Structure 1
Amino acid sequence: MGILGIDPGTLKMGYGVISEGPNPHADDYGVISLPRKMPLEQRLYQLHTHILNLIAIFHPTAVAVEQPFVGKGERAFTGSALAIGQ
């Protein structure tokens, strides 16, 4: 049991899994990097698959997702998963 934290992105997605209890510690963490030339739907599928694998392995009791940062205004969201309802 633990908490899965996700730092979302369609090119790089960070994640971390921490255990709960009196001595919390990092069970796993990393960054999933995907090629810019890969179509968005394939990148989303890869990220989805990786998240499902993390859930299957660690069985987190909670998931925390960082709010996405957009540096170039709302138009930068056009190609993101949030803009297309994913």
Structure 2
Amino acid sequence: MTRALLTEFAFFLIPFAIFFIYLLLRQRNPLTFSAWEKSIPILVLVGGGLVVASLLYTGFTAERSTGTYTPPSLQDGQVAPGRFD
């Protein structure tokens, strides 16, 4: 679960990183608010769009299991993992 959250967070940060590099190449100080203030709403929208697109892609391409699900159970003092039969 943590990996999935970090992946989505990375997709959100990609536009900010690209804009940071753009500011460096333009020889502007990327650590001042004045360099960012007009671009923040656009960067948030693009980052959110990337997150939504990645979630949709994962939802449409994820492997689907069919059959009956057997939940985890305790057998002889050991936890047997859940599985699809």
TM-score range for the pair, normalised by the shorter chain length: 0.3 to 0.5
TM-score, normalization by structure 1: 0.33
More helix by share: 2
Larger RCO (CA within 8 A; separation ≥ 6): 1
TM-score, normalization by structure 2: 0.34
More strand by share: 1
